[in-house]
Each structure stands twice: as structure tokens, then as C-alpha cells.
Structure 1
Amino acid sequence: MPELKIGEKDFLLDGEPFQIISGALHYFRVHPDQWADRIHKARLMGLNTIETYVPWNLHAPTRGEFDTSAGLDLERFLKLVAAEGMHAIVRPGPYICAEWSNGGLPPWLLRIEGVELRRAEPQYLSALTEYLQAVYQIVAPLQVDRGGPVFLVQIENEYGAYGSDKEYLAELVRVTREAGITVPLTTIDQPDPQMLEDGRLDGLHMTASFGSRSTERFKTLREFQPTGPLMCMEFWDGWFDSWGFHHHTTTVEDSDTALDEILRVGGSVNFYMFHGGTNFGMTNGANDKGAYVPLVTSYDYDAPLDEAGNPTAKYHAFRKTIAKYAPVLDELPAEATPAPVFDASLTPRASLLDLLGEIGEARPGDHPATYEELEQDTGFVFYQAPAVDIAPGTLRIGEEVRDRAYVFQDGIPVGIMARDAHERALALPLLASPVQILVEDQGRVNYGPRLGEAKGLIGEVTVDGIPLTDWTSWRLDVDRLPELDLEGCSLNLGPQVLDGEFELAEAADLFLETSAWGKGLVWVNGFNLGRYWRKGPTQTLYVPAPVTRAGRNRIVVLELEAMAHPSAQFVDGLRLGQIEF
């Protein structure tokens, strides 16, 4: 069987120098029926390897389970990589960052009293051991020396940017080796001396992450690792987008120049991303460097394949550059064709606050319970306190709103408190009316010191300094909305559920234009496409063809604010927003 080894200057596959030309493709951000298409297009660009993270929180939403159904079938994904004649790199974390909610760490970890994340702390080590053993039960039989595609596995992820606990890294190595992983193990850090020092461990091959100045960055890496192959494990060929900002891009010329510098010196590369895909549902992460900034649903990343899997100018430029150093097939992927363009009418069906009994589970208490206390991983929580005899009065949240709070009195909207605007106070206009607050988790922080923080209303809630007590907190499961019979439901002010139908001649990729809507979520045939928000930059939600069907299709919308035009407009392609000049 083949074997990959770390040589004096190169990776050695069956004893021969091997230049890894890889691309990141996250199976959990792509519909499983489209995996084979994206993998094939990677090979046509000249790649010989596919890399993927593994999201702990998605596979194990509760401790003790490891879900591999449908879009989480890692084994199927890796076998499709092998069927394409390609190799695989697996990066299971347990922390992955990836602009993914909580960096991939499951929220139930936060409910373990005294747990310390990404440290050699016994409770954390016990939990991650269970997780890694489940991952490696899939990965170990698919290693290259057993006839499979996997020839590299990464330990942790950019750990030098977070900590320096060598005991922790060593424990990850021990668990990995004892689970039967025999291929070389790697680390990754940005080419900063302190990060490289803190993230390294004897016996692990060091790789770097960068998107420019390749020669300079490799020089820094070589200072810490005098021998062995040079590899950029994350070649940032684009960037992610956040709500309220422009659509990030990098120029084809700059990215291609940096790629050529890597390949010219015999370096190996992993494009981050080759194909970004989509943060379906409520899986997006957030950053907080003094201001909370949640990420958009699209993870297009300005990558060689766009969000819908179509080749871009970068794809063709990179393919040409790769062909200077490695064999590239003659076949080219088909270019994008316009998607069906049509409108579908939407009918308001119900007010969300009138559906609490259908999608919610109530818990009384003396304070508004956090998401962690309610065992609510993401989405929405609704709070209600009895009437207050103060008007006008000022509602105040003691510490912070996490992340967006819609405030009502007796079902009437009175305002919004937004974390990204540092808002935690609001005037209440009505006398003797119950205080009601709908909170949306807009994405858990995926990077930095606020990783693992609680969600909800944090701190004491008061009106003119008087604490509100006797709360009822509802954990809401909005993914149940498409299942409900909404005929005859009441319509009041506030968030509304709308639905509609449309006909297709055959299943097809669709692009739902949302710029005339406010803020909310969309389901097509029960599949949660993700969040939309008029703040942009993203103006479309991508609807994968396998989600649709010939004949009648149903769309359900949860609109939290207000629609300028209550109809579903499908356009011919992606609308990712204004770029920065």
C-alpha cells in the first residue's frame, strides 16, 4: 500500500517526492448530492488532494452521539474523494474556527461546570477524546496505507494564536495515535514567531497559513523548521463576509502571484477555500474584537468555485499556474448558465408570537434563562415578564444583549436592542403591560477570547432600576415552522410567518433575492437555506438543486421585521454585494 512520509525537503509518497496541491472543501457546507461534482471540478483545476474540517458541534449536538447521516456522512465524502483518484487531508480540530459557529465546539461543553476550552483540563479532554475517537473510527480505515485517500491529519488548529499548552497538544497526539492514525500529523499557525513557537510540538510537522508574500512567510516557517517540506495549509485566496460590510475579494493577479511563489520553490499548498459553499441554517460564526460582527450565510469566499459551484476567473488562472508544475487534465468544467427567473407570491399566515405553544418549550424562573440554562444551542429564545406599572420607563439589560433583542409590550413591538450597536437600554411606552423579548443568536463567536460565551440576556434586567422577576423563558425550535398547519392562524404585529408555492419543470439551482425583505430565515421544501438581512452585503440565498423538485415546491419565510415587497423573487445568479474599491 502507498505511504506518505516527511522527507528532508519533500513529502514522499511511495518514496518519491510529492507536491501536495490541495483545496479546502467542507462537506458540511455543501449539499451531499453535490459533493461529487465539486470534487471532480477540483481535480480538473489540477488539484491532487481535498482537505476538510470536521465540525464537532454538528456531528454531536448532544454528548454521547455522533451523527453521520445525510450531509454529515464523512465516510461517503472521503470515499468520493478516493473515487476521483485524489488524496485527502482531515482536520478534525477539535477547534476548527472556519467562521463556523463556536469554532466547531459544541455548546453543551459550555454547560460543564468548570470546563476550560482548548486546555489540558480533565473534563474538556474527556469530552474531546470521545469526539476524536468517533472521528477516527471513520478516518483510520480510510488512511492511505490501508487503501484509502487520507494521508495527513492535523492536530488542533492555529493553536499558537490561542494558547501554548504543550500538555494539551501532546494529549491530542496520544488520542490520535491510540485511535489508529498512522499517517503524518501536522500543525498550522500563522507565520508569526510567537504563534509558531506556541503552536508547535516535537514530532508534528509545521505548516503555515497566509495569502500573500509567500516567500517571506516560508522563510519565517523555515526558521522554526529547518528541514521537511514547506506547506501553506491555508492559502487564503479570498476572505469571508460579515453583515453590514462590503463583499470581500482578492484580485486574481495578486492571488495567482502568491500561488506561483509557493509552487515555484516546491512548496505544497491547500487553497482556503477551493469552494466555500454556504452556512446553511444558523451555522454561521461571528467575530468580536471589541465589536460583535456576525458572518453572512454565503461562504462564497471569493474562491475558485463560487458559492453555487461554478468556476470563476480565479479557477482558470490557478489552473494555468498549476499546469506549470503539475499535470492538469484537458477537460474543463462547464461554465455557469442562468438560473430560472420568476416570482412567487407569499401569503402572511401567522404571527410568530402566537405560535409559541407549537414550537416552544416554556420554563419559569426568577430571571431570563440563558441559552445554556435552556440547553438551546442556537436560534431563538422568547422571554416574558409580568406587567410593570411604570410608564414611560427605561428597560435595561445589566451586561449585554447576545445578540439581537426584539422588545414587545403585550405583543406590540416597541424597539430593538442590538449587540453589534452596543445597545442594552430601551424606552417602554406602555403602562401596566407585560414585557416580552425575542432574542436571536446571530452566530457564536468562532475566534479569540470570547469563544464559548453564553447567549441570551446577560445580567439583571430592570425597568428604571427595579429588577424584573417572575420570568417565563421559551426555547424555540423555528425549524418546525415548515411542518405546521398555518391555516386559520392569527396575524398580529411583529414577526410573521409567510409561505408560498412555485412550480419547476425540473430540479434546478435557484437564487432567492432578499434585498427587499427585512431580516429572517427561509426554508424551501423544509430545507433551511439560512439567514437573510437587508444590511447585506449578500442579497441572495443559494438554493441547491437537490433541495428542489420538478412540480410544486413550497417556500416558508420567517420575517422578523418588515418586507418592502412580500413576494419571493428568484434571479439568474448570485448577488454577493458591493465590493470595496
Structure 2
Amino acid sequence: MPEDTGRFRIGPTDFLLDGEPHRVLAGALHYFRVHPGQWADRIEKARLMGLNTIETYVAWNEHAPQPGVFRTEGRHDLVRFLELVHEAGMHAIVRPGPYICAEWDNGGLPGWLFEDPDIGLRRSEPRYLAAVRGYLDALLPLIVPLQIDRGGPVVLVQVENEYGAYGSDRAYLEALVEQLRACGITVPLTTVDQPTDEMLAAGTLPGLLTTGSFGSRAQERLEVLRRHQPTGPLMCSEFWDGWFDHWGEHHHTTSVEAAAAELDALLAAGASVNIYMFHGGTNFGFTNGANHKGIYRSHVTSYDYDAPLDETGAPTAKYAAFKEVLARYTDVPAEDPAPRPPAPALEVPFRRQVLLALVQDRLGPAQVSERPPTMDQLGRYRGFCLYAADLAGRGGVLALDGVRDRAVVSVDGVTVGTLERDRHDRALVLPPGQRLELLVEDRGRVNYGPRLGEAKGLVGEVTLDGRPLRGWTVRPLDLDSVGPQLLTDAVPVQGPVAGPAFLYAEVELDQPTDLFLATHRWGKGVVWVNGFNLGRYWSRGPQHTLFVPAQQLRSGTNDLVVLELHAVADPTCRFLDGPDLGHLED
């Protein structure tokens, strides 16, 4: 299946670079999970480990949070990221989806895509294909000039993502290929699937390079790949070297020795590789995904993945072991990255607080609806939404058809309980009162399987003692950027704090440096530093620190705002000298 044109080609047995056999030694690094000020550092550390290529997904919903919007600045500046890869003397693999999984919110698919409930997701359905065409028409002009034949770093582009685990619509894959080529993608195209006969048969097309995703039994998996593709290079384009974490579970790690041995076996067989992940980074803001296999489980803020480069950019024991393996098959730089120095251990008090109820009108307009709408129906696809209804002095059993994904329930400003999707909660007892409020949190959209695109917020009917509650005031909360301007009515913190409330602290620094914010003594909530949403915390763990990139800080005073949903007994803001990602399985 050789591709006969271009500097980078697929030959009978190998990738060919300028006509010579070439092995792709890649590492996954998602630009949207790393602060732009740290991109160059992470890329350079990949080069120092012995890699020659950086791979990244493209998250459609990050670039296009609303219809007609396509962001390309800051954390969304894919062009700058690829230019930095090129400046480091490395190649790039781009995986634009449109579906990416990646433990990312909705697998990268925009929430607004599902405003039409009948849209034909990930298949050759006209409305879905039209939306995908709009996405690729905006994205591909950024990538085309950066292909290797035009002097750039991009050598491979992937079509869809593990499609054989989802569907078997060949016409859909053909439509994607047609648009990629029509828009000017000339480098070889690939697909990836887990190496089973069923998935490989459903997930690829003739003329595309079939690659595999696995983290063990390399020789066996490569034999399955070869059976489906008699010629061309063998490649594991997702070599799983770690795993992800869910709230309420342990922090996942894998054996350094076993992972290095599998990498060695893969390379000894002559295959190319993309290490997933080389550096995982962070699910900043409300970008984490979730799984649902009978029970809803959302991913934590850290995407450390037990990778060779940890969430903070520090080399791990796996980094050294992988570099030793790579040195058997390629020339590796003699230089090693410096270990992470201890971060400043600081402690500052929270100075001010204000109840969410007192500032909610500053976070977006309220809408009136007879029945409770979903967040999606209100055009809010991530974060929080506040639902309120009049009880007229009544109490009784509050029952919901469904909550996605968690609701803090209060009556007349006093919290009376929570309803959680992962506990299958549907009802609780309300005391008599006047005003019912449910602060509903989207904890992350499912990123894999048939539940893609589920609406968030309150779903279906809400009843009190069996009778439908009518007349709702609903306010989607704009929490993308929160700073001290929200706290103009705040009062001094003088002891334990009852939420939902915003708390404010000031952190003085001589110079910007990476920090590790401890959340052990808090309940559940979200943190912003200088207006930037660091992500979620939860006492449920396993993660108990939030990574604060140095580039998000400044010399002098830094503003820290916390939305605490429940309670803080000790209103103190602490920073540790290193990360705490939680307990391990053993």
C-alpha cells in the first residue's frame, strides 16, 4: 500500500523519509492540556528522551464552544504549538477527530452539536457531516501549510479515532478522507483501533495505514495488525503506558519495568510507536470527561496518566527507563531534564467571602420556564446551572427523573442534601419552606460509548409529593473566568465557611513559579487563579492538589478565588512543595 508522493511516505515495509526508512518515535502531548507558556519545555523534554515526533489530538469543542465560533488563540493556538515542534527539530502527528475520546469532555464533540436530537452521530448522516465539514473547513487551513511537503513538521494525520469500537459506516470514513484530501492534506492518513479482528475490520479503509492501540502483549497485537495489513509499517499509535483516574477511586500507576519491557518488545519487532501519554497535563476548567459503564464516573482534574513526564512537567522513573530502551534503537541526547525543584510551601488565610446567592445575578441572566429545561436547552454546555422554584410553604418528598450530574439542594438558603448521579439518587425529603434551589453541576460529559451527547442539568420531570413542580427560574452560571471583581459585597472571613460561597485569598510571590494548591481540608468546588479556571477539587479524592502553572502567576499579588459548594472548617489556603495525586491501589 505504498504512497508514492511526498517527502514522508508509506513504503512496503517502512515509513520513508526522503526515500530512506524511518521509524516514528512519537509521544502524545495535548496542547490544550498544557499552559502555552510551557509548551516548549514539554516538547524539548520529549526530544531529550529520544523521541522524534509529537502527537496531539485536536478538541473540536475547545475550538468551537458555540456555533459559529472558532478559537485559535492562547491555549487554542495549534499553529504556534506545531511551530514550536518544528523549531525543536521534531515531526508532528495531528489527530483531528472529529471524535477524540481522550478522557475529554464529550470526546471532543461540541455540546451544541446535539441540539438536534436526531443528528446521526459518527456516521454518514447529512446533518452530522455538514457540522463536521464546518469544523474541518475551519481547522484544516491551519494544518495544511504546516505539512512536511510545505516545510512544516506534520507527517501523519489520523482519520476519526478508534472507530471500530463504535461503528462500521464505511461511507462516513470515506467522507472524512474525501474532505481531508479536498482541503489539502497530502501526508499519509492513518486509523487506529484496538487490535481485534472485529474492530480492525470496522475501523479502517483500504489505502489508509492501520495502526493499533494497546499497552501489553506487543508481539501478539502486532501479528493481528499484520494479518489485516500485509504491507506497510507496523505502528502502535497509542502505546498505553499508564491510565487515568476517576473521582472516588485510587490514583492509577503502572509498573515502570513492565512498561519499559513492552516498549522494548514493540521496538524490537521493528514497529513505530506513539507513547500515550508522554505528558498528560491537566483538565483545566470544566474540560474533564467521564465514563459510564453502568455507573457514571467522572475524570479528575489531573491528567497525569503516570506518564514519563508527570502532570507538572517533571521527569519520572518511567522517563529514565524509556530513554534507556530508546537508546537501543536510536541515538538519544546525552542531556537529561533537571528534576523538579521543591515548590514554595506557603500558607495564607482566606480574607473575604460572599455567598453565591448574593452574587448569582452577576454570573448570567435568569430565564423563566414552566418546566425545568436542561442546561443544553439554555445554551450552557459546561459547568453549573442554578434552578429555583416556589414551594409556597410546602415540604415533602422531592423526586427527579434525572440529575446530570450532581445537585446541591437547599430550601430558603439552607442546604438540605445532595443528589448524585453516580449514587443513582432520585429523591430526598424537603422541610417546609418558600424557595427551593438546586445548584446543578455538570461533572463532565461521557467521552466513550453510546452516551455521547447526553444533555446536562435536570432531565425530565421534578415532583413534590408526586405532583409536578411548575414555574422555574433557571440561571446558567458563567464561571469561565472569576476574579475579585465578583466579591465587591464580600465580608471578612472570621471562621468556618458554609457554602455555596466564594472565598478570596491573596498570594504574594517574589517571582512566578509552579505551585501546588492543597485541597485536603476543603469539600468540593472550583478554583481560579488570576481569573484562570484551574479546575475542580473534591475531598472524595484521589487527587488532593491542583497544579498552578508558573505562567499563570505574576510577581507580587496573585488573586485566588474558590467556589466551595459545601463547607470549609479551616479557611486557610495552603500550597505544598509537590503534587499529591492520591493513594495507590496497593
Normalised TM-score (structure 1): 0.98
Query: How many pairs does the alignment contain?
Result: 578
Choose which of 156, 171, 174 in structure 1 pairs with 2:178.
174
Choose which of 392, 395, 398 in structure 2 pairs with 1:395.
398
Is the Cα–Cα contact under 8 Å of residues 482 and 532 in structure 2 kept in the other structure? no
Task: Give me the whole-angstrom Cα distance separating, in 1, the residues matched to 2:31 and 2:481.
Answer: 24
Is 2:62 the counterpart of 1:69?
Answer: no
- 1:479 positional shift: 3.1
Is 2:291 the counterpart of 1:316?
Answer: no
Q: For residues 484-542 of structure 1, what are the alpha-carbon distances to aligned partners after superposition, in whole Å with 9 as ceiling and x for unaligned?
A: 24233479953010001121111100000101110001111111110000011011000
Is the Cα–Cα contact under 8 Å of residues 412 and 493 in structure 1 kept in the other structure? no
Instruction: Report the secondary structure of 1:484's partner residue.
Output: helix
Is 2:281 the counterpart of 1:280?
Answer: no
Of 1-10 and 226-235, more deviation after overlay is shown by: 1-10
Residue of structure 2 equivalent to 1:143 = 147
Which amino acid letter does the alignment assign opposite residue 420 of structure 1? D
Is 2:478 the counterpart of 1:477?
Answer: yes
Is the Cα–Cα contact under 8 Å of residues 249 and 542 in structure 2 kept in the other structure? yes
Is the Cα–Cα contact under 8 Å of residues 354 and 490 in structure 1 kept in the other structure? no
Residue of structure 2 equivalent to 1:231 = 235
Task: Give me the whole-angstrom Cα distance separating, in 1, the residues matched to 2:260 and 2:512.
Answer: 36
Of 558-567 and 437-446, more deviation after overlay is shown by: 558-567
Choose which of 394, 412, 416 in structure 1 pairs with 2:418.
416
Residue of structure 1 equivalent to 2:572 = 567
Is 2:546 the counterpart of 1:541?
Answer: yes
Residue of structure 2 equivalent to 1:441 = 442
Instruction: Report the secondary structure of 2:365's partner residue.
Output: strand
Task: Give me the whole-angstrom Cα distance separating, in 2, the residues matched to 1:316 and 1:362.
Answer: 54
Instruction: Report the secondary structure of 2:447's partner residue.
Output: coil
- 1:335 positional shift: 0.9
Is the Cα–Cα contact under 8 Å of residues 349 and 487 in structure 1 kept in the other structure? no
Is 2:528 the counterpart of 1:523?
Answer: yes
Task: Give me the whole-angstrom Cα distance separating, in 1, the residues matched to 2:491 and 2:334.
Answer: 60
Choose which of 254, 257, 263 in structure 2 pairs with 1:250.
254
Is 2:584 the counterpart of 1:579?
Answer: yes
Task: Give me the whole-angstrom Cα distance separating, in 2, the residues matched to 1:376 and 1:552.
Answer: 32
Is the Cα–Cα contact under 8 Å of residues 413 and 493 in structure 1 kept in the other structure? no
Which amino acid letter does the alignment assign opposite residue 135 of structure 1? L
1:260-339 alignment, distance < 5 Å: 260-339=264-343
Is the Cα–Cα contact under 8 Å of residues 359 and 480 in structure 1 kept in the other structure? no
Instruction: Report the secondary structure of 1:361's partner residue.
Output: coil
Which amino acid letter does the alignment assign opposite residue 416 of structure 2? V
Instruction: Report the secondary structure of 1:478's partner residue.
Output: coil
- 1:388 positional shift: 4.3
**Residues 277 and 450 (structure 1), Cα distance of their counterparts in 2 relative to 1, 3 Å cut:** same
Is the Cα–Cα contact under 8 Å of residues 481 and 532 in structure 2 kept in the other structure? no
Is 2:516 the counterpart of 1:511?
Answer: yes
Task: Give me the whole-angstrom Cα distance separating, in 2, the residues matched to 1:389 and 1:523.
Answer: 37
Task: Give me the whole-angstrom Cα distance separating, in 1, the residues matched to 2:225 and 2:426.
Answer: 45
Task: Give me the whole-angstrom Cα distance separating, in 2, the residues matched to 1:486 and 1:389.
Answer: 32
Task: Give me the whole-angstrom Cα distance separating, in 2, the residues matched to 1:79 and 1:461.
Answer: 52
Instruction: Report the secondary structure of 2:224's partner residue.
Output: helix
Which amino acid letter does the alignment assign opposite residue 546 of structure 2? L
**Residues 170 and 483 (structure 1), Cα distance of their counterparts in 2 relative to 1, 3 Å cut:** farther
Task: Give me the whole-angstrom Cα distance separating, in 2, the residues matched to 1:65 and 1:373.
Answer: 18
Task: Give me the whole-angstrom Cα distance separating, in 2, the residues matched to 1:97 and 1:192.
Answer: 19
Is the Cα–Cα contact under 8 Å of residues 348 and 496 in structure 1 kept in the other structure? no
Task: Give me the whole-angstrom Cα distance separating, in 1, the residues matched to 2:290 and 2:233.
Answer: 34
Which amino acid letter does the alignment assign opposite residue 271 of structure 2? G
Is 2:463 the counterpart of 1:462?
Answer: yes
Instruction: Report the secondary structure of 1:554's partner residue.
Output: strand
**Residues 46 and 480 (structure 1), Cα distance of their counterparts in 2 relative to 1, 3 Å cut:** closer
Identity %: 58
Which amino acid letter does the alignment assign opposite residue 150 of structure 1? V
Any gaps of 5 or more consecutive residues in structure 2?
A: none
Task: Give me the whole-angstrom Cα distance separating, in 2, the residues matched to 1:383 and 1:258.
Answer: 51
Is the Cα–Cα contact under 8 Å of residues 482 and 528 in structure 2 kept in the other structure? no
Task: Give me the whole-angstrom Cα distance separating, in 2, the residues matched to 1:146 and 1:402.
Answer: 47
| Aligned alpha-carbon RMSD (Å) | 1.3
Instruction: Report the secondary structure of 2:175's partner residue.
Output: helix
Which amino acid letter does the alignment assign opposite residue 132 of structure 1? L
Choose which of 406, 421, 426 in structure 1 pairs with 2:408.
406
Residue of structure 2 equivalent to 1:126 = 130
Q: For residues 120-156 of structure 1, what are the alpha-carbon distances to aligned partners after superposition, in whole Å with 9 as ceiling and x for unaligned?
A: 1111101111111221101111100111000100000
- 1:383 positional shift: 0.6
- 1:360 positional shift: 2.4
Task: Give me the whole-angstrom Cα distance separating, in 2, the residues matched to 1:480 and 1:158.
Answer: 34
Which amino acid letter does the alignment assign opposite residue 495 of structure 1? P
Which amino acid letter does the alignment assign opposite residue 273 of structure 2? V
- 1:221 positional shift: 1.1
- 1:480 positional shift: 4.5
Which amino acid letter does the alignment assign opposite residue 145 of structure 2? P
Instruction: Report the secondary structure of 2:558's partner residue.
Output: strand
Which amino acid letter does the alignment assign opposite residue 256 of structure 2? V
